[in-house]
Chains A and B, each alone.
Chain A
Amino acid sequence: MGLLSLLRKLRPNPEKEARILLLGLDNAGKTTILKQLASEDITTVTPTAGFNIKSVAADGFKLNVWDIGGQWKIRPYWKNYFANTDVLIYVIDCTDRTRLPEAGSELFEMLMDNRLKQVPVLIFANKQDMPDAMSAAEVAEKMSLVQLQGRTWEIKACTAVDGTGLKEGMDWVCKNMKK
């Protein structure tokens, strides 16, 4: 490799940077997903006060992933992070049947926002390793995700703690990035 092409490789390419928003109720597994994407230790995760951000390289993209805390008190601040989002990833705790309606209403309410109008949505049906977890299809049905017609969206089953399904999800993200 010549020096010039090496330099070209080192130069950041602004067109290939993307802003990913990672949202969901508290205890859905957002921070664990973020840490898995960045190949960091996930055993000492703590509840997110505020937000975490990490840059992850994937498929030639530099993904700036914003993981915003999911607790009730922080949700009013979610909208401050909507602007310029390329893909929204919404994480569902598939063992938490009681709060699934809450998760659904938060998602649909948020998608009314103009700044998220054209933004593709990936829904991660997390915690598939748990025996009582709902399947991705069940979650899609209960949340009536069919209402999302007209938008690019996808639901993927995953297990954040061992990383299962995350790669597939991120491949989808890179393919469907807002142009």
Chain B
Amino acid sequence: MFILDRILPFIFSYIRPFIKWFLHAFTRLSELQRICYGAKAGASRTSQVERSLTLSKRPQIRRLVLDLDEAAPYVSNAELLDFAPRAARIVMQAKRIKNNVHPDFARLFGTCVTSIWGYRRLMHQVEQLRAEKYDSDNLDHEQKLLRLWQLLMPDTPLTGRVTKQWQDIGFQGDDPKTDFRGMGMLGLENLLYFATAYNDAAKHVLLHSMHPTLGYTYAIVGINLTSMAFNLVKTGAAKTHFYNLVVQHRQDFSTVEDFHKLYCYLFFEFDRFWMESDPRNIMDFREIYQSFEITKLEALHNDSTIFKTNLVVESV
């Protein structure tokens, strides 16, 4: 294991320039060009471009990567779209790629750049929402919580702000405010998005969660799934999904809404996975949650994976 983990990457970092020189001499294309022309659009191409950029030893390119990393968390959409032409200009200058000889390069490469730094911005946006604690003195937070109830339980009015009724939708006690914990407002926004955008699906899942023997605590499981989605993004595992998503949906970059959609997909799928696992009771949660996470991580290892949020509820 030591050889695989330490020595091989070390050797590789030394021979990489020779391989690159060799391929460049024979193909007359730089590595980035070979990737952009050769790799399939989506996660395959974008990840390879990302790797090539981060491993680059050229000072101009290293500077570029650092600059974009520093700016990415706070840029507006328009500013993010400016990253691509800027990066293309610097790379083409550094690698002496002429636009009239390679008219497609700037476009293909630029798409990858927007996607890569769009993801990095998303990481930051999601982290900010997570770090925002649920505050019961904040009117906006309170209203969102009450709206969640209305969307999930439209026929049952709440008898008060602090009530045992919250347990019906799977919070732990009579006041949900402490249940958001480490997931903060991201947990509530996720639950709310699922209940708003896919109301039928959310109610369907809620109904499953109320099953007398196969039931689980809807909101608490939901907050744990926020944690799963958050970790997939934070570790970079979700890049496969988001890099493919922008290509398939002809978007420029992924947004917080795409993150919410990933969450809805996970919740809907987890519900099915839970039911199929035939749990004895909620104490089986840990095991089932972990196997579910493993199946999702395995899927993300495949370059062509995209988690489709096709939440159709069969009405019987």
- Contacts from A to B (Cβ < 8 Å): 26-27, 42-47, 49-53, 69-74, 77, 80
Nearest-Cβ distance from residue A99 to partner chain B, whole angstroms: 8
Tell whether B153 is near chain A: CB-to-CB under 8 Å.
Answer: no
Nearest-Cβ distance from residue A35 to partner chain B, whole angstroms: 10
> Does the CB pair B172–A72 fall under 8 Å?
yes
List residues of chain A with CB within 8 A of the CB of B181. Answer: 27, 45-47
> Does the CB pair A73–B167 fall under 8 Å?
yes
- Contacts from B to A (Cβ < 8 Å): 130, 167, 172-173, 178-179, 181-183, 187, 216-217, 220-221, 223-224, 226-227, 230-231, 281-286, 289
Residue of A at shortest CB range from B187?
A: A46
> Does the CB pair A50–B172 fall under 8 Å?
no
Sample of 24 A–B contacts (CB below 8 Å): A26-B178, A26-B179, A27-B173, A44-B130, A44-B182, A44-B230, A44-B231, A46-B182, A46-B224, A47-B172, A49-B221, A49-B224, A49-B289, A50-B285, A52-B286, A69-B282, A71-B172, A71-B217, A72-B167, A72-B173, A74-B282, A74-B283, A77-B283, A80-B283
| Residue in contact with A44 in the complex, picked from B227, B282, B285, CB distance below 8 Å | B227
- From known contacts A26-B173, A27-B172, A72-B167, infer whether A47 and B230 are also in contact, taking CB-CB under 8 Å: no
The DSSP consensus for interface residues of chain A is: loop
List residues of chain B with CB within 8 A of the CB of A69. Answer: 282
Q: How far is the CA of A51 from the CA of B290 in the complex (A)?
A: 12
List residues of chain A with CB within 8 A of the CB of B284. Answer: 50
List residues of chain A with CB within 8 A of the CB of B220. Answer: 46-47, 49, 71
Q: How far is the CA of A46 from the CA of B224 in the complex (A)?
A: 6
A-B pairs, top 8 by smallest CB distance, nearest first, are A50-B285, A71-B172, A44-B182, A45-B182, A49-B285, A26-B172, A27-B178, A50-B286
List residues of chain B with CB within 8 A of the CB of A70. Answer: 172
| Residue in contact with A47 in the complex, picked from B167, B216, B223, CB distance below 8 Å | B223
Q: How far is the CA of A159 from the CA of B24 in the complex (A)?
A: 59
Residue of B at shortest CB range from A74?
A: B282
List residues of chain A with CB within 8 A of the CB of B283. Answer: 50-51, 74, 77, 80
Residue of A at shortest CB range from B281?
A: A77
| Residue in contact with B282 in the complex, picked from A26, A45, A49, A52, CB distance below 8 Å | A49
Residue of A at shortest CB range from B216?
A: A49
Q: How far is the CA of A74 from the CA of B167 in the complex (A)?
A: 12
Nearest-Cβ distance from residue B16 to partner chain A, whole angstroms: 33
Nearest-Cβ distance from residue A161 to partner chain B, whole angstroms: 11
Residue of A at shortest CB range from B219?
A: A47
List residues of chain B with CB within 8 A of the CB of A45. Answer: 181-182
Known: A47-B172, A49-B286, A80-B283. 17 other contacts (CB 8 A): A26-B178, A26-B179, A27-B172, A27-B179, A44-B130, A44-B182, A44-B183, A47-B220, A49-B220, A49-B282, A50-B283, A51-B283, A70-B172, A71-B217, A73-B282, A77-B281, A77-B282
Q: How far is the CA of A131 from the CA of B177 in the complex (A)?
A: 19
Q: How far is the CA of A26 from the CA of B223 in the complex (A)?
A: 15
Nearest-Cβ distance from residue A127 to partner chain B, whole angstroms: 12
Q: How far is the CA of A47 from the CA of B283 in the complex (A)?
A: 13
List residues of chain A with CB within 8 A of the CB of B230. Answer: 44
Residue of A at shortest CB range from B181?
A: A45
Q: How far is the CA of A72 from the CA of B231 in the complex (A)?
A: 28
List residues of chain B with CB within 8 A of the CB of A53. Answer: 286
> Does the CB pair B285–A43 fall under 8 Å?
no
Residue of B at shortest CB range from A73?
A: B217
Q: How far is the CA of A71 from the CA of B182 in the complex (A)?
A: 17
Nearest-Cβ distance from residue A129 to partner chain B, whole angstroms: 15
List residues of chain A with CB within 8 A of the CB of B182. Answer: 42-46
List residues of chain B with CB within 8 A of the CB of A72. Answer: 167, 172-173
Q: How far is the CA of A51 from the CA of B179 in the complex (A)?
A: 16
| Residue in contact with A46 in the complex, picked from B173, B216, B227, B281, CB distance below 8 Å | B227
List residues of chain A with CB within 8 A of the CB of B281. Answer: 77
